[in-house]
Structure 1
Amino acid sequence: MRFLVITLIVHRPDPVTGITPSARDRLREVVDSAVLAEELGFDGFGVGERHERPFISSSPPVVLSHLAARTSRIRLFTAVTTLSLLDPVRAYEDYATLDNLSDGRLELIIGKGNGTAQRELFNVTPEDQWDRNAESYELFRQIWRQDTITAQPRYRPALHEAEVWPRPYQQPIRVWHGSATSRESVDLAARYGDPLFSANVTNPIEPYAELVHYYRQRWAEYGHDPALAAVGAGTAGFHVAPRSQDAVAAYAPVFAGQLAFQRSMGMEPVFPTLEDFIERSSALIGSPQQIIDKVHRYHEQFGHSVLHLHAEAGGLPPAEHRASLELFQSEVAPALRRTIPDPPWPWAPVLPEAAVTAAAD
């Protein structure tokens, strides 16, 4: 099993202290989190894309390019790239550049995105968002693989023998499809033989498991080898401590702050108490053995081989969050790596043929 830490770069008051950092300081926290993740041995670091408050993750290629310069090994993920909002040609240019700058450490998780404000910002409607997502992905995929492209898309100007530069470092790039609530993203992933990443953060396991099962069904119906299907899954919260009582006590003020924030935004919490949150959500809060057991329970439903945790403290004292990540890597991750397989591909970058030949020489 492989482990990512991700951030959506939420920019709001700390749920415990009530202090809102500046945008500069919040982005610096993201950089520090990525450097720490590599230091501790995590396999990937992901940056979300949102175009509405309370997020400042509107430009993941810029953030990830900076992280590429500050790290050397860890794989860099988008979580997610909202292709329904983007011109696929411009998105390709950004990510092909990043792919070269990172020496092929980039992986994309794509999705149509959510949120009314960001959809309206880009003049995307609920009726056309799924078609836009599928069309943008098809064009993005073709541009990545072909030196020239001719296409007559609905949602951007036509392309005729167009060249788009720079050419990428990886050929092809691995693209995951983010899945939260609907079958469209799931079907798109299965159609192209791409891996699926379940959001798995807002609700209990049942709706997510249903989508994962649908993905495997459609994967087989599209004629792909069932052994090559791959699934990742998110977690709703994270804190591990040697004793479960200490983990729960430390997380209690964080959860209380998150609950108050949800209610201030007019949202009715799915999990109204901390006990319910720990029991019925995907949150990993407890002792190392409790975390291991819960991941295995989810694995029975998902068969997932990649798991993401929250990159940042989110209200915990930074030293306590670091200790939690260290404990995860020393006691939880080794046990899960031994018992849950990796994805069905090498984790190293997909090198271009020229680079492979040079390395062999």
Structure 2
Amino acid sequence: MKFLAITLIVHRPDPVTGVRKSTHERFREVLENAVLAEELGFDGFGVGERHERPFISSSPTVVLSHVAALTRRIRLFTAVTTLSLLDPVRAYEDYATLDHLSNGRLDLIIGKGNGAAQRDLFHVTPEDQWDRNAESYEVFRQLWREEKVTADTRFRPPLTEAEVWPRPYQRPVRVWHGSATSKESVDLAARYGDPLFSANVTNPIEPYAELIRYYRERWEFHGHDPADIAVGAGTAGICVAPTTQEALAAYRPIFDSNLAFFKQADLPVVFETLEDFVERSSALIGSPQQVVDKVHRYHERFGHTVVHLHADAGGLTDAQHRDSLELFQSAVAPVLRKDIPDPPFDWGPVRPAGEAAAHV
């Protein structure tokens, strides 16, 4: 099993202290967390893309390029690249450049994105967002594979024998499809034989398990070998401590603050108590053995081989957050790496058959 640390670069007051870091401080924190993730042995570091409050992750290529310069081994993920909002040609140019700068350490997780504010910003409607996502991905996919591209597009000017530079380092880049609530992204992933990454954050396990089951069904429908399926899944929070009691005590102020925020904002509340959140959500809160057991329970339903954890402290102190990640890597990850297989592909740069990857 592989483990990613991911940030959406949320920029709001700390849920416990109420202190809101400056934009500059928040970006520095992201870079420090990326370096820490590599230091602790995580397999990947991901940066989201959002174009609305309270996020400042509108330029993941810029952030990941800086992360690439500060690290040497860890793979770089987007979480997610909102292709429904982007010109696929411009997106290709940015990501192909990043791929070279990182020596082929880039993986993409794509999705349509969500939120009315960013849809309005880019003049995307709920009615056309899925068509935009599919079209952008199809063009993006062609650009990564073909020297000259012709595409009769609806949402950007058509392409005729178009050459786009630079040509990529990885041929092709690996693209995961982010999945939260809709079958459209799942079917797009299955159609092209691409891996799936389940959001697995907001709700209990059932709706996510159903979408993954549907993905496997559509994968076979499209003629792909079931042995080649790769599924990743998110988590709703992390706090690993030597004992259950210590983990609950550390996380309770965060849960209480987030619950109050949801109620004040009139947002749906799925888990009314911390105990229910720990039991029925994907959050990894508890002793190392509790966390191992929970990941196993989810693996039984998902068959996933990649998990993402929160790279941000999210209300824990810096010391608590580091201790939690260190304990995860020393007492949880080794067990899960032994018990659960890796994805059915090499974790390094994607290169044509028979061509060796450059040293990274």
Question: Normalising by structure 1, what TM-score?
Answer: 0.98
After TM superposition, the structure 1 stretch with the greater mean CA deviation from structure 2, 283-292 or 346-355, is: 346-355
One-letter amino acid matched to 1:148: K
One-letter amino acid matched to 2:343: P
Shift of 1:260: 2.0
Number of equivalent positions: 359
Give 1:76's aligned residue. 76
The answer to whether the 8 Å contact 2:104/2:170 transfers is: yes
Give 2:5's aligned residue. 5
One-letter amino acid matched to 1:123: H
Q: Secondary structure at the match of 2:120?
A: helix
d(CA) in 1 for partners of 2:302, 2:270: 21
Q: Give the 3 Å change call, closer, same or farther, for CA 262–147 of structure 1 in structure 2.
A: same
Report the identity percentage.
75
The answer to whether the 8 Å contact 1:177/1:186 transfers is: yes
Q: Secondary structure at the match of 2:20?
A: coil
Give 1:296's aligned residue. 296
The answer to whether the 8 Å contact 1:284/1:291 transfers is: yes
d(CA) in 2 for partners of 1:236, 1:213: 21
The answer to whether the 8 Å contact 2:230/2:304 transfers is: yes
Shift of 1:193: 0.1
Deviations 1:95-146 (A, max 9, x none): 0000000000000000001101100110000000000000000000000001
Shift of 1:351: 3.6
Unaligned runs of 5+ in 2: none
The answer to whether the 8 Å contact 2:204/2:282 transfers is: yes
Give 1:259's aligned residue. 259
d(CA) in 2 for partners of 1:162, 1:63: 28
d(CA) in 1 for partners of 2:278, 2:67: 32
Q: Within 5 Å, which residues of 2 pair with 1:301-316? A: 301-316=301-316
Question: Normalising by structure 2, what TM-score?
Answer: 0.98
Q: Give the 3 Å change call, closer, same or farther, for CA 222–242 of structure 1 in structure 2.
A: same
d(CA) in 1 for partners of 2:289, 2:121: 45
The answer to whether the 8 Å contact 1:241/1:287 transfers is: yes
One-letter amino acid matched to 1:211: L
One-letter amino acid matched to 1:283: A
d(CA) in 1 for partners of 2:297, 2:355: 41
Give 1:331's aligned residue. 331
Q: Establish whether residue 111 from structure 1 lines up as the match of residue 102 from structure 2.
A: no
Shift of 1:357: 8.3
Give 1:166's aligned residue. 166
Q: Secondary structure at the match of 1:110?
A: strand
Q: Within 5 Å, which residues of 2 pair with 1:121-270? A: 121-270=121-270
One-letter amino acid matched to 1:264: Q
d(CA) in 2 for partners of 1:228, 1:245: 41
The answer to whether the 8 Å contact 1:169/1:352 transfers is: no
d(CA) in 1 for partners of 2:292, 2:357: 41
Q: Establish whether residue 56 from structure 1 lines up as the match of residue 59 from structure 2.
A: no
Deviations 1:159-213 (A, max 9, x none): 1111000011000110000000010000000000000000000000000000000
One-letter amino acid matched to 1:88: P
